Structure 1
Amino acid sequence: MQHLIDAAHPNLLPAHGEAVLFPDFFTPRESDIYFDYFKNDVSWKQEPVVLFGKKRMQPRLTALYGDINGEYSYSGLTMGVNDWTSPMAEIKEKLEKRFETSFNSCLFNYYRDGKDYMGWHRDNEHALGEYPLIVSVSFGSTRIFQFRDYKEKMPVISLELDHGSVLLMKRQTQEYWEHRLPKTTLPVGPRINLTFRLLLHKG
């Protein structure tokens, strides 16, 4: 039986984890305001990564904010941590209240068009702890988001992340499932994603 946050928000995963979508967590007006603010005022960077032995630029822009000091390393990257701004703190407070948890960092991703993407991965860095609770917020154009079983590579579960939606991932999700935001040839506009998490220590 699938776990439920409530009757309107079922678990999207068939087993071993919990992923729940809240399609209209933020109102259209709130979402428009946040998107415009983050697009213009976040300290976006395009970082290099090593794939198959070759250094390439990430196919998206990123930034890291939080109340942890110094730098944080993940997936071979070391990022400087920026201080929260007021709009970020507003969103953080609303999420913490709704999901009865706390966050000390947020990874921002800016997908400029359909060519920008995120490959298959798990958010299972040691600094996140054994079973991290991660909340992903979407502003901007709708994009397809996918889960698949980490070992079997099946089934593939696809969902749409709309403007103002929130995706909650918890329990064993990062152990048994990997996820991605695939590229698309469809004419889509920019999307900004905020991934709130609790770092137990710096990576």
Structure 2
Amino acid sequence: MIDYKPEYFKNQNPIITEWDEPTIREFKGHKVLGRKTAGYGNTFAYAGKNYKGRPWSDNHRIFRIKTLTEHMLSKEYNMDVEFSFCLCGYYGTNGKGIPHHSDTVPTLDDLVVSISFGAPRVFTWRHYQNAVKVKTNTSEIDTVSENFIKTEDTYILNHGDVLIFDGHSQMKSTHAVPDMIGAGERINLTFRTGI
């Protein structure tokens, strides 16, 4: 992970009225029901689906958060970034999370910026001694390497919290939002480059 910025976007509030229904896919040999999602920007393959991103102009709040995030990266990290896709994930009141996984990142230098909105949720980040992926452009992880956890960090993600990571960090790490009974609604935006 490159950085964690608590409550950086606490004054923003995305509203998404149209969600794609979840699909069932295989993950680590088990059938898993995904969550409601929406995509903006370019076409992107994720969790067994091909997203034809909606135009940025369809949701001015998502576009504003995208623009503010690009500006923050330019100002605070001297990174000239233009996001080509945003995956929006809906976490309902059923407390369902997402198991440990590694994001698909086209190259080592591409970025994923994750922003949490709504109810607090636990987020865990595991660092491994060895690479858990053969290449960046996949979410498939080597389950043998998973047995060699180096460290694990836990965060409570609140409304407006930002996590920034790149392809380098995805090669030796996984992250998860564990199931949490009684959790409130949450929307997570992941802005991505290189898609």
TM-score (norm 2): 0.77
2:77 alignment partner in structure 1: none
**Percent of counterpart pairs with the same letter?**
28
Could you say which residue in structure 2 is the equivalent of 1:169?
165
Matched, 1:20 2:3: yes
- C-alpha change, 1:153 and 1:75, in structure 2 (3 Å) is farther
Change in 2 beyond 3 A, CA 1:96/1:115: same
In 1, Cα distance between the equivalents of 2:171 and 2:161?
24
- 2:77 is the counterpart of 1:116: no
1:46 paired residue number: 22
* Letter aligned with residue 139 of structure 1: F
Q: Aligned partners of 2:29, 2:6: CA distance in 1, in Å? A: 39
CA contact (8 A) 2:25 2:31 kept: yes
Maintained 8 Å contact 1:148/1:155: yes
Contact 1:47 1:62 in 2 (8 A): no
In the alignment, the residues of structure 2 paired with residue 55 and residue 146 of structure 1 have an alpha-carbon distance, to the nearest angstrom, of: 22
Contact 2:19 2:36 in 1 (8 A): no
**Aligned length in residues:** 169
| Residue aligned with 1:90, SS | helix
Superposed, 1:142-181 pairs within 5 Å as 142-150=120-128, 151=145, 152-170=148-166, 172-181=168-177
Task: Return the offset for 1:119.
Answer: 1.2
After superposition, the Cα gap between the structure-2 partners of 1:52 and 1:96, relative to the gap in structure 1 and judged at 3 Å, is: closer
Output the amino acid matched with 1:129. T
Could you tell me which amino acid in structure 2 is paired with residue 87 of structure 1?
Answer: R
Structure 2 residue 110 is the aligned partner of structure 1 residue 132:
yes
Deviations 1:79-110 (A, max 9, x none): 23211121111111100011022101001110
Q: TM-score, normalised by structure 1?
A: 0.75
Q: Does 1:62 align with 2:42?
A: no
Segments ≥4 residues shifted beyond 6 Å:
none
Alpha-carbon RMSD: 2.0
- Alpha-carbon displacement from aligned partner over 1:116-145 (angstroms, at most 9, x marks no partner): 2111111134xx212321111111000011
User: Structure 2: which 5+ runs fail to align?
Assistant: 75-80, 129-144
Name stretches of at least 5 consecutive residues in structure 1 with no aligned partner. 1-17
